[in-house]
């Protein structure tokens, strides 16, 4: 995996043996509360790890960053990537993978199955089910049984509603 594809945590783990004692102490401090530990001020990170500010600056450079601000920017990007939904994540990796790659084939099959399922459901039936689900006066109990006709494809369970007391 190229350096650009590694998380900061991966980079730290890969370089632990090459770090000084103080840098290893800092590395372990960062990893204990990763990634939040690296999002605060440089001086706060140094204080929490019980190392000097120059130690933080040196280690960040050893990890391949020009400075602490670039290190923090990368941490924020990692957090954004984790927060992405599955569709956005797919777009991130799908472009670099050939269409016959298992991830793309699997995604295509799932999307086709969803299209097939939704194509068999009448919009008025779906709207009615959504209305029932949105009604706060109804409790739904889901049972793992096969449904009849269109609903079999959208749900793998039966809903029984009971009025709340």
User: How large a percentage of the chain has pLDDT more than 90?
Assistant: 38
Average pLDDT in the 48-67 region?
94
Provide the number of structural domains found in the chain. Answer: 3
Q: Which residue has the higher pLDDT, 87 or 160?
A: 87
Q: What is the domain extent for residue 111?
A: 86-118
Average pLDDT in the 63-89 region?
84
Examine the domain organization and report whether 152 and 96 are in the same domain.
no
Examine the domain organization and report whether 113 and 134 are in the same domain.
no
Examine the domain organization and report whether 40 and 107 are in the same domain.
no
Instruction: Indicate if the alpha-carbon torsion angle 14, 15, 17, 21 is positive or negative.
Output: negative
Examine the domain organization and report whether 135 and 155 are in the same domain.
yes
* First-residue to last-residue Cα distance in the chain: 58
Give pTM, 2 decimals: 0.52
Examine the domain organization and report whether 111 and 125 are in the same domain.
no
Examine the domain organization and report whether 9 and 52 are in the same domain.
yes
At 95 the pLDDT is: 63
CA-nearest of 42, 72, 73, 39 to 56 is 42
Examine the domain organization and report whether 52 and 91 are in the same domain.
no
Mean pLDDT taken over the chain? 77
At 124 the pLDDT is: 87
Examine the domain organization and report whether 19 and 65 are in the same domain.
yes
Examine the domain organization and report whether 114 and 126 are in the same domain.
no
CATH number of the domain to which 62 belongs = 1.10.10.10
Is the pLDDT at 54 greater than 90, yes or no? Answer: yes
Examine the domain organization and report whether 41 and 12 are in the same domain.
yes
Pairwise CA distance, residues 115 & 18, whole Å: 52
Examine the domain organization and report whether 98 and 149 are in the same domain.
no
Among the three residues 57, 83, 109, which one is the final residue of a domain in this structure? 83
Angle at 14 between CA 12 and CA 20, to 5 degrees: 65
Examine the domain organization and report whether 111 and 57 are in the same domain.
no
């Amino acid at each position: 995996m190229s350096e650009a594809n590694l998380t900061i945590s991966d980079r730290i783990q890969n370089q632990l043996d090459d770090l000084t004692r103080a840098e290893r102490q800092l590395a372990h401090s960062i990893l204990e509360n990763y990634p939040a530990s690296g999002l605060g001020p440089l001086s706060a990170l140094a204080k929490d790890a019980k190392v000097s500010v120059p130690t933080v600056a040196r280690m960040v450079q050893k990890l391949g960053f020009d400075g602490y601000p670039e290190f923090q920017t990368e941490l924020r990007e990692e957090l954004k990537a984790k927060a992405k939904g599955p569709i956005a994540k797919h777009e991130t990796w799908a472009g670099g993978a050939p269409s016959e790659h298992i991830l793309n084939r699997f995604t295509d099959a799932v999307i086709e199955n969803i299209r097939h399922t939704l194509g068999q459901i009448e919009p008025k039936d779906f709207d009615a089910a959504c209305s029932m689900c949105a009604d706060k006066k109804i409790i739904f109990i889901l049972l793992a049984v096969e449904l009849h006709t269109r609903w079999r494809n959208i749900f793998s369970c039966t809903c029984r509603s009971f009025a709340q007391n």
